[in-house]
Amino acid sequence: MSHSDADVHAPARAGAAERRTRLRQYQVQLLERMQAARANTGAAVNQLGVQIGAARYLLDLTQAGEIVPVPPLTAVPLTQPWYLGLANIRGNLVGAIDLARYLGLGDTATGADSRIVTFAGALGFNCGLLVSRVYGLRHAGGMQASDGRLRDADGNEWTALDLAALVADERFLHVGL
């Protein structure tokens, strides 16, 4: 390789090294955030905000899986009314639940913004919740606690939803009639 060839390839090598460094920095930051979320020691506690029925809920990011548009649901006979059926999500059968109906709060409205939020694989439960809307990440640490609920700066009330506790609920586990 001549001296001129080395000069031509030098910027490409420098750019690749810079990208590797940025990737490493990003991976370290992501790992730190995940560890802080698991330990719940981070100053900022981000959760996923969703609407189920008429209420707003906060889901722990470590317990939530994918967020997907509502796929076709296959009804399952002899199941509870809140068990909407089975959905094929990326080749996996996932039970779809209307949590508002489960809680006796009416039905969750479906529309263009409706989604299924699956449970994280770590919970060991192929299940997803029907949500009317996904609000995105919410900073729960900046909300005011009031009567077991959280209130954001805009005055919206949020309820924390523990999916792990839901999966341990005996009634939730019995979808059959």
105 and 164, same domain (yes or no): yes
63 and 38, same domain (yes or no): no
21 and 94, same domain (yes or no): no
Task: Name the residue among 159, 160, 93, 157 with its Cα closest to residue 128.
Answer: 93
- Residue range of the domain that includes 101: 46-173
Residue type for 157, please?
E
143 and 110, same domain (yes or no): yes
Distance CA 158, CA 84 (A): 24
Tell me the pTM: 0.73
User: Which pLDDT tens digit goes with each residue over 157-171?
Assistant: 999 999 999 999 999
Residue 2: strand, helix, or coil: coil
Average pLDDT over residues 136-150: 87
Structure tokens at 80: 């509870």
- For residue 33, the model assigns a pLDDT of 53
84 and 17, same domain (yes or no): no
81 and 116, same domain (yes or no): yes
The answer to whether residue 38 scores a pLDDT higher than 70 is no
19 and 90, same domain (yes or no): no
84 and 114, same domain (yes or no): yes
Structure tokens at 156: 């919206």
CB 63 within 8 A of CB 120: yes
Number of neighbouring beta carbons within 10 Å of residue 156? 14
Alpha helices in the chain (DSSP H): 3-39, 99-102, 163-168, 170-173
CB 82 within 8 A of CB 129: no
158 and 125, same domain (yes or no): yes
